[in-house]
Amino acid sequence: MIKQVIQGFLLIATVLLMSCGTTETKSEERPNILFIMSDDHAYQAISAYSDHLIKTPNIDRLAHEGMLFTNASVTNSICAPSRATILTGKHTHINGKIDNITPFDTTQVTFPQLFQEAGYQTAMFGKLHFGNNPKGVDDFMILPGQGSYINPRFITATGDTTITGYVTDIITDLTLDWLDKKRDPEKPFLMMYLHKAPHRSWWPSPEKFKEFLAKKYPEPETLFDDYENRGSAAKEAAMTISDEMILSYDNKVLPDAVDQAGIVDDPRNRPYFENNEYPRINAAQSAEYYPLLDSIAEDFKRNWPTMTDKERISWKYQRYMQDYLGCISSVDDNVGRVLDYLDEHGLAENTLVVYTSDQGFYLGEHGWFDKRFIYQESFKTPLLIRWPNKIEPGITNDELVQNLDFAQTFLEAAQIEAPADMQGQSIMPLLRGNMADWDRNSVYYHYYEYPGAHMVKRHYGIVTKKYKLANFYYDVDEWELYDLEADPSEMNNVYGDPEYATTVAELKEELNSLRVEYKDSPALDRKYIEQYENRRK
């Protein structure tokens, strides 16, 4: 009797243990990863961060249903280097892709390869901007270089193809088509869904062009910055709305109208016009775009000649925002299409969805467009992550995380071992809400592409939640320190202020140790300068 009871008990215990085991395996099922990245999408233009410019209800869903990072940043604020860092989990001085021009060494391991080897189905659609095809993806269709907004050409494994339509819609169609027809339900997937928008020259779809042309935007406080109390780098950068934003190319004023205004003499207008999206527009698209372009030309001819310099900057800023935000509105609509697809196909629950950009962007702050600087708007990047049942919804996180951390984070989520030489840190503890396992106080930054487009000087630096210290070098040797709490707009370099002497000394020490930790050095700085100078010979 007793024996029977014990046997019965053992049987029940075994069944219970086995069922626990099954639950365990099920909850540890490897998640799908949907990595959504746009190009040059400023966090200022996502309503989950601030809704003073635009409402982005679909991207915001990821914040409401997941986690919003307010201090996410990049290690080198420019397109291809950021992508190389994301793919390799290494700083650009280590992966070698220090600027947009230097080729990417494709013998390096990228995280999609590890996913593929671990049995994931992998795909990439949209902008890669590497000059070579992606590795580790079963299927891909990528834009050549920067790609085009209208009727874009794509590179595929078997040749090129041109697709009629608007790039943001097309990249989404390709992504949804793959999920629908090629996804193997037996395997988890890694999808890299990579938008070209809202990269310069900010061409919205015809509908958004029309809709946004009617809108007016608040100006940033620093739109008329005179760069006093800063170093020479801010003064010498060629990215002002006033001088570097080209009327025909960027603001879409037809070149005849620019000529007729009689007082505008920028030799870049006509060649830029001819090399832009205009020649790609087919007859049906012309019928939609040209009435709008004509109305811009009329407004320009009527008003430009009598405007003051400041009024001209304001006029260009409005045109800039209308186009830039029109592009973002399409990105948001399309992100909504993909999130709806996940919902409708029962995929939302087991998919970790990330929305980010390859870097931030200036939306008129400091009078600028473009990026590259360690200053806030380009150093920071949007980051929103949703993973139902794993991440508590609606949480805002202000820890210092970087694009350097993405590879290790995704690998940990997928239970794949990360190579020991990756330099980031998985942010899984933060996603789980486990702050005790996170101890980073500062991050490292290094920008190289100088002399080059927009003329932002080479610099490296350290950023903490309170301070930013940077050294601009190559043709200068200048230090800048910003007190981010007292001066969040970074208008006053307090490096020479005796009150900050101790802070400077401490930050320099920490910066040096970061350089050692990440294996950066004066010798490497020189190597990359020599590499640049040899290229110019």
Task: Tell me the window of 164-172, 197-205, 384-392, 479-487 that interacts with ligand SGN (CB under 6 A).
Answer: 197-205
480 lies in the site for ligand SGN, by CB under 6 A: no
What's the CA gap between 84 and 56, in Å, rounded?
28
Residue 251 in tokens: 């603001």
Least separation in angstroms between CB 135 and ligand SGN = 20
Gyration radius of the chain's alpha carbons: 25
Decide whether 39 or 520 has the Cβ nearer to Ca ion: 39
Least separation in angstroms between CB 471 and ligand SGN = 22
Least separation in angstroms between CB 454 and ligand SGN = 5
- 199, 252, 319, 366: which one contacts ligand SGN (CB under 6 A)? 199
- 370, 483, 520, 525: which one contacts ligand SGN (CB under 6 A)? 370
Task: Tell me the window of 11-19, 37-45, 280-288, 485-493 that interacts with Ca ion (CB under 5 A).
Answer: 37-45
377 lies in the site for ligand SGN, by CB under 6 A: no
332 lies in the site for ligand SGN, by CB under 6 A: no
- 37, 40, 200, 503: which one contacts Ca ion (CB under 5 A)? 40
Could you tell me where the DSSP H helices lie in 78-157? 79-88, 92-95, 111-117
Amino acid of residue 110: T
What's the CA gap between 361 and 328, in Å, rounded?
13
What's the CA gap between 457 and 433, in Å, rounded?
39
Least separation in angstroms between CB 92 and ligand SGN = 12
Decide whether 93 or 200 has the Cβ nearer to Ca ion: 200
Contacts of 412 (CB under 8 A, 6+ apart): 418, 426, 428
Decide whether 200 or 459 has the Cβ nearer to ligand SGN: 200
99 lies in the site for ligand SGN, by CB under 6 A: no
What's the CA gap between 537 and 465, in Å, rounded?
42
Phi, psi of 531 (to 5 degrees): -60, -45
- 39, 277, 333, 483: which one contacts Ca ion (CB under 5 A)? 39
Q: What DSSP assignment string belongs to 339-374?
A: HHHHHHTT-STTEEEEEEESS---SSGGGB-S--SS
CB-side neighbour CA atoms (13 Å) of 185: 5
Total residues at interface with ligand SGN (CB under 6 A): 13
Task: Please work out, in degrees rounded to the nearest 5, the angle formed at the alpha carbon of residue 457 by the alpha carbons of 453 and 462.
Answer: 125
Task: Tell me the window of 34-42, 64-72, 242-250, 527-535 that interacts with Ca ion (CB under 5 A).
Answer: 34-42
Residue 131 in tokens: 């000059």
In DSSP terms, 73 is beta-bridged to 380, 402
97 lies in the site for ligand SGN, by CB under 6 A: no
Segment holding 124, helix H or strand E:
strand 121-126
Footprint of Ca ion on residues 345-374 (CB under 5 A)? 358
Query: Quick one: how far is CA 527 from the chain centroid?
Result: 27
39 lies in the site for ligand SGN, by CB under 6 A: yes
Least separation in angstroms between CB 455 and Ca ion = 17
Decide whether 269 or 402 has the Cβ nearer to Ca ion: 402
Least separation in angstroms between CB 355 and Ca ion = 15
79 lies in the site for Ca ion, by CB under 5 A: yes
Least separation in angstroms between CB 250 and ligand SGN = 8
What's the CA gap between 141 and 128, in Å, rounded?
10
453 lies in the site for ligand SGN, by CB under 6 A: yes
Segment holding 344, helix H or strand E:
helix 309-344
Decide whether 200 or 468 has the Cβ nearer to ligand SGN: 200
Separate counts of helices (H) and strands (E) for the chain: 17, 16
Q: Provide the strand spans (E) within 139-261.
A: 139-142, 153-156, 159-162, 189-194
Q: Which residues bind ligand SGN (CB under 6 A)?
A: 39-40, 78-79, 100, 129, 146, 199-201, 370, 453-454
Query: Which residues contribute to the site for Ca ion (CB under 5 A)?
Result: 39-40, 79, 358
